[in-house]
Amino acid sequence: MKHRKTFIAVVMFALALGVATAYAQKPEESKPAPLAVQETYLIGESDLLAINVWHEAELTRVVPVRTDGKITLPLIGELQASGQTVEQLRATIATELKRFLEDPEVTVIVQEPRSQFFTIIGKVQKPGSYPLGQRLTVIEGIALGGGFKDFAKVGKIQIVRTHRDGRVERLPFDYKHAVDGDLTQNFALEAHDMIIVP
């Protein structure tokens, strides 16, 4: 009986160790798939675009958006990409290719959304810049930054937003009010927002 209890204890310990080891795997070991971006994503400079033309391997390629906002494709040449949505660019490429192909089927995926990012600084675990390839709220942005460090003033967070016309706006954010259900506090981040956690 004693041996049976010991055996069960050893088996339970081994199972617990296995589960703990599985959860302790480093995230780098499993490479994330390329970020699937909604058709409404606004393309910007430095974004990396995967352009696929079905059954046309020589036209399928990954291209960066240059600093002038353009990309270069075979047959078509230069195209303005910056400032267009993914769907608009897909439609433009398909229209241009109709001069050479019958009913081309084109897909455009933002493989790396390098132009759309936000920054979080201050008393957070992982300050830095993060991609904004999908809709993120302030709380989700803070979570990406690893959460707060000790003594962070969570009621005095500011989001600094720079508009296209150069105007800078400071938006106050009270984390406690947001997690208590004040949805007006937990608004969506925009490209180039900076979250400052004092």
Cβ atoms within 10 Å of 113's Cβ, excluding its own? 23
Phi, psi (5° rounding) for residue 119? -125, 140
Task: Name the nearest CA neighbour of 161 among 193, 185, 186.
Answer: 193
In the prediction, which pLDDT does 106 show? 96
Residue with tokens 């049976």: 4
List the chain pLDDT tens, one digit each, 198 residues: 544 444 444 334 443 434 333 333 333 332 333 444 456 778 989 999 999 999 999 999 999 999 999 999 999 999 999 989 999 999 999 999 999 999 999 999 998 888 888 999 999 999 999 988 678 899 999 999 999 999 999 999 999 999 878 899 999 999 999 988 888 889 999 989 999 999
Domains along the sequence of the chain with CATH: 48-112 (3.30.1950.10), 117-197 (3.10.560.10)
Half-sphere exposure of 84 (CA within 13 A, CB side): 20
Question: d(Cα 186, Cα 175) in Å, to the nearest integer?
Answer: 8
Write down the pLDDT at residue 172.
Answer: 95
Give the per-residue pLDDT at 7. Answer: 42
Asked whether 129 and 118 are in contact (CB, 8 A), the reply is yes
pLDDT of residue 41: 78
Q: What is the pLDDT of residue 132?
A: 81
Q: How far apart are CA 44 and CA 94, in angstroms?
A: 20
